[in-house]
Amino acid sequence: MLSLPIDKVLKLFVFLCLGMPVVGCACGRLPGLIRAIYAGSFDPMTHGHLDIIKRATKLFDEVVMAVVANPGKSPLLPVEIRKMLISRAVEGIPGVTVEDFHGLTVNYAKQKKVYILVRGLRAITDFENELAMAQTNKELFPELETIFLMSKAEYSFISSTMVKEIARLGGDVSQFVPQCVNNYLKEHFSRGAE
């Protein structure tokens, strides 16, 4: 009986579902690198985001955390700061790169020649919005597939919007965000820093 480690099984599963070759795949096809994009504003990054990225690296050889600069939103943190904090938070996770971009995620994916988007879902209300976005992205870029990962139950209530509001009002967000993000928010948004 063939016994493979779980990461190889998951990569083989992705190969079979998406028809993309995988590094080290025992399926007899040419090896290749499966890359995915996990795009978002990450304003700020939360434990939920970190959990999704860790789990995505078990499925894909490289995951690009793509920080979008959305001029339509009023960000708590500038893109450069978000990118720096995310880089610190994912420092020990192999296969993760952090970049920023402007514009549509589908255009960024085309430019990078990446055909998989990773999206995290916290609740059924997220699914409705994410499904509409995935279907729109598919119309704009037919080769693009969207993979949904459900958040762990302990992170299902955490949102960047909630964390942003608590931080703006000088509250403690340490249980919701990675340590480096907490340190930055505490230094720049605590009541004493205003």
Please identify every residue annotated as catalytic.
49, 73, 122, 160
Q: Which two tokens stand for residue 92?
A: 């020990």
Contact 43, 164 (CB under 8 A): yes
Contact 96, 63 (CB under 8 A): yes
Contact 38, 68 (CB under 8 A): no
Question: For residue 17, what is the DSSP state?
Answer: H
Nearest-5° Cα angle at 39, 34 to 45? 120
Q: Which H or E run contains 30?
A: none
Amino acid making up residue 140: L
Chain-centroid distance of CA 156 in Å reads: 15
Chain-centroid distance of CA 135 in Å reads: 19
Q: Which H or E run contains 119?
A: strand 116-121
